[in-house]
Amino acid sequence: MASSVVYSELYRAGTLGKTLTDSIDDLVVVGKLEPQLAARVLQQFDKTMEQGFGGLTRAKTSFKGRLHVYRLCDNVWNFELQDVAFKMENGKKVEAKKVKVVAYSSDAK
């Protein structure tokens, strides 16, 4: 159960999650959406995101870059990388100037 809470925080912190939360908050404030329904929508968002990413993240990739910052807090690693080159298992390559990696322990409680 704890891992679901961690994942929901991660999904809601992304652009899609923030946009959904802001829109729902606006609808609740103007009275077009009940708070209970808003909570159910966010729960469904969390569930759908976890299901969607659970089935789509089986591809392997490797990457190289310069480690700029790293932190460990509450069993959560944060890595900030610069000049990163990703190499997918299908041979495709992608480059990025900055990348942030957030890693959670699978047995985090």
50 part of a folded domain:
yes
Q: Answer whether residue 11 shows pLDDT above 90.
A: no
109 part of a folded domain:
no
- Structural domains of the chain, count: 2
pLDDT tens digits for 41-67? 999 998 888 877 766 666 788 999 999
Q: Are 41 and 21 in contact (CB under 8 A)?
A: no
Whether residue 36 is found in the same domain as residue 14: yes
pLDDT attached to residue 1: 42
Whether residue 43 is found in the same domain as residue 84: no
Q: Are 28 and 38 in contact (CB under 8 A)?
A: yes
Give the amino acid at 82.
Answer: Q
Structural domain range at position 98: 61-104
